[in-house]
Amino acid sequence: MPPTPDTLSSATQDQGTRRRTRLREFQAQLVERMQAARAGADTRVNQLGIEIGAQRWLVNLAHAGELTPVGGITPVPLTKDWFLGVTNLRGNLVSVIDLARFLGGAPTVPGKESRILAFAPALNFNAALLVTRVLGLRNMAQMQAQPLARAEPLPWSQDRYVDAEGQHWQQLDLSVVIRDPAFLQVGM
């Protein structure tokens, strides 16, 4: 007997519900692991892995703030194309930056896995990065340091690593990014 539209609709709803539940569980586990790593409970896992454009980045948990889904970003006139605008995060207006575009690459296109990564409150800098996707916490003890291929490394990204799967990662020091004059000059 072929399935009826009602049974297909029910199966699709169940699948969507299970997917949302798994996503919530993953996010809750990630938050717990980030809090444990920040507290020093697990010193082996001390970096948040993110993807911006095609580049994989490692961010120190002390510099990473809240991760949220991409919501409404209000453009700001007369700003550079990498300055996407401002968004409301828990009642605070936060500047949103497309780091891939800032570095001269293609603009980051928000998708289902995209997130906004706010800078940690300790940095005292009200901004966030548009992240293509969050790759989870990374164990630095399982990575090998690699020399940079660039002739002139960015002052806030001088360390590069390769993980056990051969993936290349670049360290992103947000505390140095916020002192970069080019990063601070958002106006045209």
What is the Cα 55 distance to its own chain's centre?
11
Read off the pLDDT of each residue in 155-178 and give the average, rounded to a whole number: 89
For residue 116, list its beta bridge partners: 68, 130
Express as a percent the part of the chain with pLDDT over 70.
75
Tens digits of per-residue pLDDT, 20-50? 776 666 666 666 655 655 555 444 468 999 9
Q: Which residues make Cβ contacts (< 8 Å) with residue 173, sequence separation at least 6?
A: 60, 63, 156, 157, 158
CATH level 3 topology of 47-137+173-184 = OB fold (Dihydrolipoamide Acetyltransferase, E2P) (2.40.50)
Residue carrying structure tokens 């969507």: 16
Q: Describe the strand order of the beta sheet including 133-139 as a list of residue ranges.
A: 133-139, 45-52, 55-60, 168-172, 160-162, 144-146
What is d(CA 130, CA 55) in angstroms, rounded to the nearest whole number?
A: 13
Strand 168-172 versus strand 160-162 pairing type: antiparallel
